[in-house]
Amino acid sequence: MNLHVAILQIDITYGDPVKNQNYIEWKMGQTEALQDIDVVVMPELWNTGYDLTRLDEIADPLGENSQQFLSQLAKRYSVNIVGGSVAKIEKGKATNTMYVFNKNGELQLEYSKAHLFQLMDEHKYLSAGSDKSHFDIEGYPSSGFICYDIRFPEWMRTHTINGSEILFVVAQWPTPRIDHWRSLLISRAIENQCYVVACNRVGSDPKNSFGGHSIIVNPWGEVITEAGDQEMILEAELDMSIVEGIRTQIPIFQDRRTDLYE
Ligand SMILES: NC(=O)CCC(=O)C(=O)O
Catalytic residue among 19, 25, 27, 44: 44
Query: pLDDT tens-digit profile of 103-158?
Result: 999 999 999 999 999 999 999 999 999 999 999 999 999 999 999 999 999 999 99
Domains of the chain (ranges; CATH) run 2-254 (3.60.110.10)
Q: Which residues pair with 64 in a beta bridge?
A: none
Q: Which residues pair with 229 in a beta bridge?
A: none
* Residue 59 pLDDT > 90: yes
| pTM reported for the whole predicted model | 0.98
- Across all residues in the chain, what is the average pLDDT? 97
Distance 119 CA to ligand 1 centre (A): 8
Do the beta carbons of residue 173 and residue 211 sit within 8 Å?
A: yes
Return the residue whose CA atom lies nearest to atom 9 of ligand 1. 177
Query: pLDDT tens-digit profile of 6-26?
Result: 999 999 999 999 999 999 999
- Whether ipTM exceeds 0.95: yes
The atom number, within ligand 1, closest to the CA of 147 reads 3
Tell me how far apart the alpha carbons of residues 91 and 102 are, in angstroms, rounded to a whole number: 28
Tell me how far apart the alpha carbons of residues 213 and 233 are, in angstroms, rounded to a whole number: 11
Tell me how far apart the alpha carbons of residues 145 and 156 are, in angstroms, rounded to a whole number: 8
Do the beta carbons of residue 86 and residue 110 sit within 8 Å?
A: no
The yes-or-no answer on residue 44 being catalytic is: yes
Query: pLDDT tens-digit profile of 162-182?
Result: 999 999 999 999 999 999 999
Q: Which of 231, 239, 195 is nearest to 213 (CA)?
A: 231
Return the residue whose CA atom lies nearest to atom 3 of ligand 1. 148
* Pocket residues: Cβ below 6 A from ligand 1: 44, 117, 120, 147-148, 151, 171-174, 177, 180
